[in-house]
Structure 1
Amino acid sequence: MFSLIADEATDCAAMAQMALCVRYLKDSEIREEFLGVQMDYIRGQGYDGASKMSGLYRGVQARIRQQYPEAVYTHCKAHCLNLAIIHASKCTYVRNMMATVQTVAFAFNMSAKRLLKFQETLGCDPTSREEMEERQKLQSSCETRWAARADAFHTFLCLYRTVVTSLEDLGANGDTKAAANSLSVLQFDFIITLVTAEHVLAAVVELSTMLQQKACHLLRAATETRVIIATLKASKMKCLALLMVVPVSTATAERSFSTMRRVKSYLRSTMTTERLSGLGLLNIYQEKKLDAERIVDMFAAKKERRLALIFKV
C-alpha cells in the first residue's frame, strides 16, 4: 500500500508542471519516490490547499476517492503550519515589524554606499562580528516560507547595534531614508515585536523542518507539535508574569509617606533608618497579629544581655 503526493509549480516558460510521488514502506523504512504504481493499493493522498487539488467535491482528492475510497486525503502539514504563521502575522505590529526589517535589509543590500558603511561599523563591533561569524550583511525575509524568516529576524537582532549606528551615521550625513529607518527601528513597538517574533519562529522553524523530512509520519508530527505548543505556552506564561510584576504607578510608595509623618515626627527626628523602617512596618500592618513571646525569644537569643530575658532551668 502507498500514498500519493503531488505538487505543482511554474517553470521558466510559465507552464504549470506537476510532480507526482508515492510514499510507502519497505523493510520498515519510510520512502518517498517517483514511481509508477498500481492504484488499487493507494491508501492516502497529500496535496497543498489549492482548490483544484483539495476541493471537497470536484478536487483531485475527491475524484480519486470516488474510485478508491480508502485513499484518505491529508493537507500538507508543512503548508498548514505556514498558513498558521501567515494568519498569526496579520497583527498590525507584526506586519509593520516585518515590513521594517525587509525595508532596512533592502536599503543596505541594494546600496553599495550603505553596505560599505554597514560593514565598516560591523568591523568595529567585535561582539556582533563574533555572533554573525562570516556574514557581512542582513538577510531579506522569504516571501513564501514564513518559518524561514526566523533566520532573518535572528540576524537582525544580533546586528541591531550595528544597524542602528550605521543608520544614524548615514542620516547625519544627509541620507533621509536612513534617518527615517533609524527612527523606525528605535520604536519600542518594533523592538518588542521583533524579539517576540524571533523567539516564536525559532521554535516553529524546527517543527517546519521536521515536517518536511521523508521519515516524518503523523504520530511524530503530532507529538512534536504538542511539544512546541507546550513550550510556547510556557513562554507566554513567563511573559504574562513579567507584565504582571511591572508596576503601573508608584501610588503605594507614596501612601507610605503618610505613615512616615506619623512615625518620625519633630520630637523623634534623630530616629535611624532601621528603626523608622521597623516602626513603619508595624504601623502599616496593624491588622497582623504578632506573637510577643516569640519576638522576645528571638531578641534574647541574638546575644548575651544584662537583663535575663530567658530563664534557664
Structure 2
Amino acid sequence: MYLLRQGLALRGHDEENSNLIQLLKLRSGDSEYLNEWLKNKKYFSHDIINEICKEIYLVIIRDIVTEVSSRKWFSLIRDETCDESTVEKLCITIRSVDSNYNVFEDVVGLYATSTQNASTIVEAIYDVLVRCGLDMINCRGQSYDGASNMSGIYNGVSSIILNQYSKAIYVHCVAHCLDLAVHDLTDQCASVGYCLLYMKDIIDFIRRSPKRRAILKNIVNQISLSYANLTALCPTRWTMRTSSYDSLLKVMSKDTNTLMRRLDIQEALYTISEEKGGPGIKANGLYEQMKKFDFFLGLKLGHLIFTDAEKLSRVLRSTDCCLQDVFCAAQATIHRFEPIQGDNGLELFYDQVIKESDG
C-alpha cells in the first residue's frame, strides 16, 4: 500500500534489492507474519504481486463509488495526460457533494483510448460509469478543456452527452480559461513575450550544466548572499510561472532596493561568455539580451501579471471552489490590476521600472 500510495516502483534491477522486498525486510522486524512470509518466499511472483495491486485498486474504487452513490448527484471532470511511455490516457474524475455541502473530487482511473475523437471519448466515459455502477441520469455537470473534440457545440463530447442527458450542463474549465487568457495576453504584449522567450533560454542554459550553476553560486557567495536555484518555466500551465520570475527577479537587498539576483545572473553569463566554443557564444548572446531595457520591462510586467494570475489559478483549482468563489476571486484580481490600467498608473509603473533599471 505504501509503495502504491507514493507512486514508487515495486521492483528494482533485481528481486532482492527491489523496493517491495527491502520495505518488507524493514518492516519484518516489527511483524512476525512478514518475517515468516519473507522466509517462505511465497506469493512473490510478478503475476501475483500485480494481482494483489489490482485487488487493492478495486477495493479503493468500490469505496469511492459507494460514497458517490450515497450522494446521488455528481459531475464529470475529464482531462488527458501522457505516461512515461508517451501513451495518452484519459483521466476521469467524479465530483460530488454530500449533505453538508462538502465537495469531493475522486479520480476513478486512467484509461487508454485508440483515438481522441469525441465518440470514442464518450464511449470510454460511459464504459467507466457503467463499470462503477453510476447512472448518467444523476449527472448534473461536465467540465473539460476547450478543445474542439471536447467542447464543440455540434459534435463535441459535451454536446453529445448534453443531447442525451439534458441536465449534464457543460462548463468550460475555468482554470483552463484563465490559462488561455494569460497565454493570449503574452502574445499581445511584446515585452512580456520577448522576456519569456529569453527567460527560458537563460534558466535552461544555467540549470543544465553543473559547471554553470557552480559559477553562479560562487558569484552569489562572493557577495555574501543566500543562493537559490533557478526555477524552470512550467511548460504547460502559463499561470504557474511566478516562481521562475522570482528566481530571476528577486530583491536581495531591501535597503538599497537593488535587484542583485538579476545582476548575479548577468555576471555569471558574462563569465561563461569568456569561454571558447558554443557555450561561450550563447552565454554572450543571452548576456546582451539581459542588458536590454525591454527585457527588464518584460520581466517586471510579467512578474506583476503572473503573480496575480497564479493566485487566481490556485483558487480556481481548489476542490471546494464554487461559482461564487470564481467570481469573487476574478473580481479581486481585476481590482488589483486597476491601479496600473489608467495612463497615470501605467506611467508610474514605467517610471519605477526605469528607476530600478538604472539602479
Q: State the TM-score, normalized to the length of structure 1.
A: 0.71
Q: Which amino acid aligns with 2:231?
A: Q
Matches of 1:245 and 1:107, distance apart in 2: 31
**Residue equivalent to 1:242:** 348
Q: CA RMSD in A?
A: 2.1
Sequence identity of aligned pairs in percent? 27
* Counterpart pick for 1:7 among 76, 79, 89: 79
Misfit runs of 4+, over 4 Å: 243-246
Matches of 1:118 and 1:97, distance apart in 2: 20
* Counterpart pick for 1:199 among 304, 308, 311: 304
* Counterpart pick for 2:154 among 28, 40, 57: 57
Q: Is 1:210 aligned to residue 282 of structure 2? A: no
Deviations 1:252-301 (A, max 9, x none): xxxxxxxxxxxxxxxxxxxxxxxxxxxxxxxxxxxxxxxxxxxxxxxxxx
Q: Is 1:16 aligned to residue 92 of structure 2? A: no
Deviations 1:126-178 (A, max 9, x none): 34x2xx6xx2x312211111111111011101220210121223334553322
C-alpha spacing 1:83/1:243, structure 2 compared with 1 (3 Å):
closer
C-alpha spacing 1:8/1:172, structure 2 compared with 1 (3 Å):
closer
Q: Is 1:104 aligned to residue 206 of structure 2? A: no
**Residue equivalent to 1:179:** 284
Deviations 1:31-89 (A, max 9, x none): 11246322111111101112221111111111111111111100111111111111011
User: 8 Å contact 1:22–1:32 — kept in the other structure?
Assistant: yes
User: Which stretch shifts more, 10-19 or 79-88?
Assistant: 10-19
Matches of 1:125 and 1:200, distance apart in 2: 31
Structure 1 segment 33-72 matched on structure 2, within 5 A: 33-34=106-107, 36=132, 37-72=134-169
Shift in Å, 1:245? 8.2
SS of the counterpart of 2:92?
strand
User: Which stretch shifts more, 11-20 or 45-54?
Assistant: 11-20
User: 8 Å contact 1:125–1:162 — kept in the other structure?
Assistant: no
**Residue equivalent to 2:121:** none
C-alpha spacing 1:244/1:34, structure 2 compared with 1 (3 Å):
closer
User: Which stretch shifts more, 52-61 or 231-240?
Assistant: 231-240
Shift in Å, 1:108? 1.2
Q: State the TM-score, normalized to the length of structure 2.
A: 0.63
What runs of 5+ residues in structure 1 fail to find an aligned partner? 247-313
Q: Is 1:168 aligned to residue 265 of structure 2? A: no
C-alpha spacing 1:61/1:232, structure 2 compared with 1 (3 Å):
same
**Residue equivalent to 2:21:** none
C-alpha spacing 1:8/1:227, structure 2 compared with 1 (3 Å):
same
Q: Which amino acid aligns with 1:225?
A: A
Query: What count of residue pairs does the alignment treat as equivalent?
Result: 240
Q: Which amino acid aligns with 2:105?
A: E
Matches of 1:106 and 1:161, distance apart in 2: 17
Matches of 2:334 and 2:299, distance apart in 1: 20
Shift in Å, 1:21? 1.9
**Residue equivalent to 2:355:** none
Matches of 1:41 and 1:243, distance apart in 2: 52
Matches of 2:192 and 2:240, distance apart in 1: 15
Matches of 1:42 and 1:176, distance apart in 2: 59
Shift in Å, 1:182? 1.2
SS of the counterpart of 1:226?
helix
Q: Which amino acid aligns with 2:271?
A: D
Q: Which amino acid aligns with 2:266?
A: V
User: 8 Å contact 1:7–1:19 — kept in the other structure?
Assistant: yes
Deviations 1:197-234 (A, max 9, x none): 00111111011111111101111011100100110122
User: Which stretch shifts more, 229-238 or 50-59?
Assistant: 229-238
**Residue equivalent to 1:94:** 192
SS of the counterpart of 1:209?
helix
Matches of 2:328 and 2:231, distance apart in 1: 32
Matches of 2:273 and 2:157, distance apart in 1: 56
